[in-house]
């Protein structure tokens, strides 16, 4: 899950523009302009829901209204304002980006897939939205079990029908911002597939024009599980970007505390 949060933060400053002379292989992963977005907030809301055994919709509503200025899509903002609990037919990548804790909470692939589907349905109940969430969670679970990239690729393609053969060099000339699940998932998988480390995976995301923070969030969660959490200075980066002053000028440590808390240490309030 930490790999997803850090991917979101790293990708946040390159979502809409990149500086002249940008080199994805040498640019600093984290710097001025980085911030957490809705991807991080809702990833942590998923963890909160599972630790407290409460409905996903309740957790997403709670966190969404606590942290309003983090880049939610228009449809999700309306869902928040209406205190919704039912899906609005979205096929966006928003359900896929928030599931990375689920594979750490359940013991079997079947449980993981069922929980990911449930987490999607309260907002992204379009088949593509659900498919994005379930496939992401399944890939992370397989990576945690030590499965090979070849096995993960077969699962991703055969079970969900996603394109897996298109290499990153073929994406780069035609890259564009695409917040759909069907547009984001094949790219996120390929960024992971062509990497040799978590950092390399995120740099692969940087190399393609895309919905950078969310693709990095999805791919980063898979890479963290596959490369066994080898992310340098992860806790320092979490502290730097998750602990911020609130509207009262006090440092808000809630997201950081939840990110690093073990199961059973964050009760519902």
Amino acid 269: pLDDT:
54
CATH number where 141 lies? 1.10.4080.10
**Token pair for residue 240?**
């730097």
pTM above 0.85, yes or no: yes
Mean pLDDT is lowest, of 14-18, 118-122, 161-165, 185-189, for 14-18
Per-residue HEC secondary structure of 184-248 comes to HHHHHHHHHHCCCCHHHHHHHHHCCCCCHHHHHHHHHHHHHHHCCCCCCCHHHHHHHHHCEECCC
Amino acid 267: pLDDT:
55
Q: Which residues neighbour 204 within 8 Å (Cβ) at sequence distance 6 or greater? A: 24, 168, 190, 191, 192, 194, 195, 219
Q: Give the residue numbers spanning the domain of 89.
A: 2-12+34-260
State the angle between helix axes of 149-160 and 212-226 in degrees (0 to 180), rounded to the nearest 10: 130
Percent of the chain with pLDDT over 70: 97
Flag whether 94 is in a domain: yes
Amino acid 266: pLDDT:
52
> Cα separation of 38 and 31, whole Å?
19
Flag whether 88 is in a domain: yes
Digit-coded pLDDT (tens) for 72-97: 999 999 999 999 889 999 999 999 99
Flag whether 268 is in a domain: no
**Token pair for residue 37?**
């977005």
Q: Which residues neighbour 195 within 8 Å (Cβ) at sequence distance 6 or greater? A: 201, 203, 204, 223
Digit-coded pLDDT (tens) for 101-129: 999 999 999 999 999 999 999 999 999 99
* Residue 173 and residue 209 in contact, taking contact as beta carbons nearer than 8 Å: no
Digit-coded pLDDT (tens) for 206-227: 999 999 999 999 999 999 999 9
**How many CB atoms are closer than 10 A to CB 2?**
21
pLDDT band at 265 (very low <50, low <70, confident <90, very high): very low
Digit-coded pLDDT (tens) for 162-171: 999 999 999 9
Amino acid 262: pLDDT:
82
pLDDT surpasses 70 at 268: no
- How many structural domains does the chain have? 1
* Interval 42-55 mean pLDDT: 97
pLDDT band at 202 (very low <50, low <70, confident <90, very high): very high
Flag whether 144 is in a domain: yes
Instruction: Calculate the average pLDDT of the chain.
Output: 94
C-alpha distance from residue 136 to each of 112, 173, 260 (Å):
10, 26, 21
Amino acid 105: pLDDT:
97
pLDDT surpasses 80 at 174: yes
Flag whether 249 is in a domain: yes
**Token pair for residue 66?**
């606590």
Flag whether 20 is in a domain: no
Flag whether 21 is in a domain: no
> Cα separation of 162 and 160, whole Å?
6
Percent of the chain with pLDDT over 90: 88
pLDDT surpasses 80 at 248: no
Q: For 182-216, b where at least 16 C-beta lie within 10 A, e where not — what string?
A: bbbbbbbbbbbbebeebbebbbbbbbbbbbbbbbb
pLDDT band at 264 (very low <50, low <70, confident <90, very high): very low
Flag whether 269 is in a domain: no
Among all chains, which residue has been given the structure tokens 């597939």? 193
**Token pair for residue 170?**
């073929």
């Amino acid at each position: 899950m930490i790999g997803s949060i850090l991917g979101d933060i790293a990708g946040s400053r390159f979502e809409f523009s990149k500086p002249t002379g940008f080199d994805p292989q040498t640019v600093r992963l984290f710097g001025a302009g980085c911030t957490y977005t809705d991807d991080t907030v809702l990833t942590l809301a998923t963890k909160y829901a599972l630790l407290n055994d409460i409905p996903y919709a309740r957790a997403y509503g709670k966190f969404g209204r606590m942290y309003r200025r983090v880049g939610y899509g228009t449809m999700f903002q309306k869902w928040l304002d209406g205190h919704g609990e039912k899906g609005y037919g979205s096929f966006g990548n928003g359900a896929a980006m928030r599931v990375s804790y689920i594979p750490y909470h359940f013991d079997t692939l079947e449980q993981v897939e069922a929980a990911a589907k449930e987490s999607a349905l309260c907002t992204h109940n379009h088949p593509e939205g659900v498919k994005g969430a379930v496939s992401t969670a399944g890939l992370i679970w397989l990576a945690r079990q030590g499965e090979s990239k070849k096995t993960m690729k077969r699962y991703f393609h055969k079970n969900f029908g996603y394109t897996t053969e298109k290499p990153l060099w073929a994406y780069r000339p035609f890259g564009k911002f695409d917040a759909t699940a069907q547009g984001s998932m094949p790219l996120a998988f390929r960024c992971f597939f062509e990497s040799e480390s978590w950092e390399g995976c995120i740099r692969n995301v940087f190399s393609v024009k895309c919905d950078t923070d969310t693709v990095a969030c999805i791919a980063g969660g898979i890479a963290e599980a596959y490369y066994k959490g080898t992310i340098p200075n992860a806790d320092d980066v979490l502290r730097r970007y998750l602990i911020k002053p609130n509207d009262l000028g006090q440092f808000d440590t809630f997201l950081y505390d939840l990110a690093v808390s073990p199961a059973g240490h964050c009760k519902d309030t």
